[in-house]
Structure 1
Amino acid sequence: MGISSERDLVEFIVDYTRDMALSEEEPGTILDRYFVPDFEYCNDGLVIDRQRMIDHVRPVRKNVDKAAMAANDNAGVEVHQALVRGDQIAARWTLRTTLRKGKTFTAEIYMFGRLAPDGRIQRIDQTNRQLDDQP
């Protein structure tokens, strides 16, 4: 899947979030669909490479309430803005995830990125602002 429009970017945010949290598919296969092999994902100043992203998925999949997340058509994602201009992307979105222990994790996410020529992601610079958890 290559990103070439705002609609593609919104679909990426929703599908990638859902697939990484809920799918039984190997995380590396999911990453390869959306990212070039040597991508850089800089989240709140921490650069995450492919292996680190794969390692991050295991605890996420263990801790999310899969039934609650699957019941939401958009996987708990609300995209407020999405922009694509040439090889540049930007989005502002909210993630709401119900955890197995009943709490809700909510964060505002501001994402900026650069696309490879094939439309997959080459780099993301992202910052998050966690909102109050709700019981």
Structure 2
Amino acid sequence: MSPFTDTDPKQFIADFYASFHNDLLGSDEDPGLIVDRYHTPDVVQVADGHWMDRDKLVAHTRPVRKNRPSGRWDVHDALVSGDRIAARFTLYVTNRTRDLAIESHMFAQFTDDGRMRQAHILTRTLPADAGPGQPMPEMSERQVRPA
């Protein structure tokens, strides 16, 4: 059975990331155990061309724990087909040195128990004050404009 059967896909993604983040920062539990609760042992994430397996994902959690950023996920769109989801969301991060807004486009596969098996993610950093409903930043003349 799909993990999306009884859950709105937008809420599923928001809850998945917020719960993972809160579990990681809310305890001293081994980060590998937390990663394993949310991801399969053979997980592969490709974010902006950077490949991460389970070991790299666990290593990625260490600076997150050290910096202790706060995060908020606004999921704008999410579409489901079987065990796969496509989502567009903005992550708002506040850490010790700055505020960030990161727009993400994700295509992912989840197991029946709600763990991520694979994800392909494209991101771009937005102005930190960009919020829901804010206009897109102006494009320079060098950038390609949509037709």
TM-score range, shorter-chain basis?
Answer: 0.7 to 0.9
The structure with more radius of gyration: 2
* Percent identity between the two aligned chains: 37
AA aligned opposite 1:15: S
Matched, 1:61 2:57: no
Q: Check 1:81–1:19 CA distance in 2 against 1; reply closer, same or farther (3 A cut).
A: farther
AA aligned opposite 2:21: T
3-state SS of paired residue (2:77): strand
Task: Specify every segment of 5 or more residues in structure 1 that has no aligned partner in the other structure, as ranges.
Answer: 70-74
Q: Give, in angstroms, the shift of residue 119 of structure 1.
A: 3.7
* Greater per-residue helix proportion: 1
- TM-score when normalising by structure 2: 0.72
- Greater RCO between the two (CA within 8 Å, min separation 6)? 1
In 1, distance between residues paired with 2:68 and 2:14? 22
Aligned residues: 123
Matched, 1:85 2:81: yes
In 2, distance between residues paired with 1:8 and 1:106? 20
Contact 2:14 2:73 survives alignment (8 Å): no
In 2, distance between residues paired with 1:121 and 1:53? 12
Task: Specify every segment of 5 or more residues in structure 2 that has no aligned partner in the other structure, as ranges.
Answer: 130-147
Q: Check 1:105–1:33 CA distance in 2 against 1; reply closer, same or farther (3 A cut).
A: same
Matched, 1:27 2:41: no
